[in-house]
Amino acid sequence: MALLSYAELTGKRMRRDITITGSIDSQGHVGKIGGILEKATAVGTSELRKYAVFMIPRKQRIQGGIDVAKYALDKWKLQVVEVDNFDDVIKIAFETKEGEKVTVEEKIIPPLILIPFKASEKTSEFGKIATSELSETKRKANGANVPEELSVQAKENAIEAQKLLEKGYYYSSANIAFITTISIDEFNFVNATKPELLGRLKELKALAEDLVFENQTEENFEWIVGAKLRFYWANGKIKLAEDKIAAGNYISAAGDIALATSWMRAAGRMNIPSKNQNAKEMRNFYFREKAADLISRAKELRVNGRLDFEADERLKTAIDEFSNAEYLTAVFDASFAIAYSEALDNIIDKTYSEVVQNICNKDSFEVTCDIFKDLEFKSMWAEMYYAHGLYNFQESNRSLDGENLANGMKLLALSNAFEKRREEVLAILNNPAEELIPASTILPSKQVQVKLTVEEDSKKNLILYSMVAILVLIILFAFISRRPKELKMAYTETQMQ
Residue 488: pLDDT above 50? no
| Lowest mean per-residue pLDDT among 65-69, 93-97, 168-172, 326-330 | 65-69
> Stretch 117-141: mean pLDDT, rounded?
94
Per DSSP, the residues of 421-490 read: HHHHHHHHHHS--GGGS-GGGPPPSS-EE--S--HHHHHHHHHHHHHHHHHHHHHHHHHHHHHHHHHHHH
> Stretch 325-352: mean pLDDT, rounded?
93
pLDDT per residue over 268-315, tens digit each? 999 998 888 789 999 999 999 999 999 999 999 999 999 999 999 999
Q: Give the span between the Cα atoms of 170 and 458, in whole angstroms.
A: 41
- pLDDT value at residue 348: 83
Residue 479: pLDDT above 70? no
Average pLDDT, the chain: 85
Are 315 and 302 in contact by the 8 Å Cβ rule? The answer is: yes
Q: Give the span between the Cα atoms of 38 and 308, in whole angstroms.
A: 21
Percent share of the chain, pLDDT over 70:
86
CB neighbour class for 445 (10 Å; exposed up to 12, middle 13-18, buried from 19): exposed
Name beta bridge partners: 212: 449
Q: Give the span between the Cα atoms of 16 and 376, in whole angstroms.
A: 56
Q: Which of 21-30, 143-152, 161-170, 347-356 has the highest mean pLDDT?
A: 161-170
* More confident of the two residues 361 and 303: 303
Q: Give the span between the Cα atoms of 313 and 207, in whole angstroms.
A: 23
Residue 147: pLDDT above 70? yes
- pLDDT value at residue 432: 73
- pLDDT value at residue 485: 44
Residue 7: pLDDT above 80? no
C-alpha angle with apex 80: 78 to 82, nearest 5 degrees? Answer: 170
- pLDDT value at residue 359: 87
Q: Give the span between the Cα atoms of 323 and 454, in whole angstroms.
A: 8
Residue 323 half-sphere exposure toward CB, CA atoms < 13 A: 14
- pLDDT value at residue 477: 55
- Closest by Cα among 331, 342, 336 to 409: 342
How far is the CA of 124 from the CAs of 129, 218, 224, 379, 420, in angstroms? 9, 18, 16, 13, 22
User: How does strand 66-67 pair with strand 62-63?
Assistant: antiparallel
Which pLDDT band holds residue 464 (cuts at 50, 70, 90)? low
- pLDDT value at residue 11: 82
User: By three-state DSSP, how is residue 212 classified?
Assistant: strand
| Lowest mean per-residue pLDDT among 221-235, 244-258, 474-488 | 474-488
For 450-489, b/e burial (b = at least 16 CB within 10 A) is bebeeeeeeeeeeeeeeeeeeeeeeeeeeeeeeeeeeeee
C-alpha angle with apex 320: 315 to 324, nearest 5 degrees? Answer: 145
> Stretch 174-186: mean pLDDT, rounded?
93
* More confident of the two residues 401 and 296: 296
* More confident of the two residues 277 and 151: 151
> Stretch 259-270: mean pLDDT, rounded?
95
pLDDT per residue over 429-452, tens digit each? 998 764 444 434 434 333 444 444
Percent share of the chain, pLDDT over 90:
51
Q: Give the span between the Cα atoms of 461 and 320, in whole angstroms.
A: 19
DSSP state, residue 288: H
Torsion of CA 133, 111, 386, 179, to 10 degrees: -30
128: part of which helix (H) or strand (E)? helix 124-141
Q: Give the span between the Cα atoms of 216 and 326, in whole angstroms.
A: 11
- pLDDT value at residue 128: 95
- Other Cβ atoms closer than 10 A to 156: 12
DSSP state, residue 127: H
What is the arrangement of strands in the sheet containing 18-20, beginning at the earlier edge strand? 18-20, 53-57, 79-83
Q: Give the span between the Cα atoms of 378 and 249, in whole angstroms.
A: 44
- pLDDT value at residue 356: 87
* More confident of the two residues 99 and 174: 174
Q: Give the span between the Cα atoms of 432 and 421, in whole angstroms.
A: 15
- pLDDT value at residue 441: 42
> Stretch 115-140: mean pLDDT, rounded?
94
* More confident of the two residues 431 and 392: 392
- pLDDT value at residue 364: 78
Residue 486: pLDDT above 60? no
- pLDDT value at residue 331: 98
- pLDDT value at residue 442: 38
* More confident of the two residues 148 and 175: 175
Report the residue count for the chain: 497
User: How does strand 448-449 pair with strand 23-24?
Assistant: unpaired
Which pLDDT band holds residue 493 (cuts at 50, 70, 90)? very low
- pTM, two decimals, is 0.79
- pLDDT value at residue 459: 45
The end-to-end CA distance of the chain, in Å, is 98
How far is the CA of 169 from the CAs of 81, 119, 121, 243, in angstroms? 32, 7, 13, 37
For 224-256, b/e burial (b = at least 16 CB within 10 A) is bbbbbbbbbbbbbbbbbbbebbeeeebbbbbbb
pLDDT per residue over 35-63, tens digit each? 888 889 899 998 877 899 999 988 888 77
- Tell me the helices (H) and strands (E) count for the chain, helix number first: 17, 9
